[in-house]
Amino acid sequence: MGSMFRIAFLLALAVGSLLCAGCDRHESRKARMEFHQLSRAEEDRLNKQRELVLSAARVRYGTKGFTRSKTDLPVIQRLIDDRVFAKTQTFELQALGVVFGDVLASELGLHWELVTDEYGTDPVLRLGTHQVQISALTMISKRAEDGKEVDVAALLDGVRDTLKQMKKSGDCK
């Protein structure tokens, strides 16, 4: 296995939502993966999801706004711990993923883009122009739906550590 694929596989086990399709064995998948700027409709959808989370946080905790930095993590974690959204509320749980994704973007130098691959078209976080993508929308929802504990600080640290290791090994420059 190529080192980039091995690192991506380990991260998928640890974090569960980062894909890296740059190794030779995945050239066919890489060729089918296309990145695009977010469409206006996708921007609007993400903004509606951000507003949904802010509204819930405002009503419950008096939150005035999100900073898109790690200072938002305690509010996101509290919404999760208080089970404000049931595990059947996928859209709302993915909305938490959008707000968490904004933190990942600002803390780790990522940006939102659309990816189209064999699974469809979805907003993801991307590292520069690399084939590295993080499915922030589902990082929280999949865990919550599976009844697993969600620790957003640990998720942030896991993604940060994996990206550092990928950069150090030369898989992401």
Residue in the structure block whose two tokens are 């896991």: 158
Neighbours of 63 (CB within 10 A): 18
pLDDT for 166 equals 82
Euclidean distance between CA atoms 106 and 152, whole angstroms: 15
The full set of domain ranges for the chain reads 3-169
Tokens of 65: 């706004």
pLDDT for 86 equals 96
CATH topology of domain 3-169: Four Helix Bundle (Hemerythrin (Met), subunit A) (1.20.120)
Report residue 171's pLDDT band, with 50, 70 and 90 as the boundaries. low
Tokens of 86: 């049931």
Euclidean distance between CA atoms 60 and 101, whole angstroms: 22
Per residue in 5-58, pLDDT (tens digit) is: 333 433 443 444 444 444 333 444 455 789 999 999 999 999 999 999 999 999
Euclidean distance between CA atoms 168 and 172, whole angstroms: 8
Burial 30-59 (b: 16+ CB within 10 A, else e): eeebeeeeeeeebeebbeebbebbbebbee
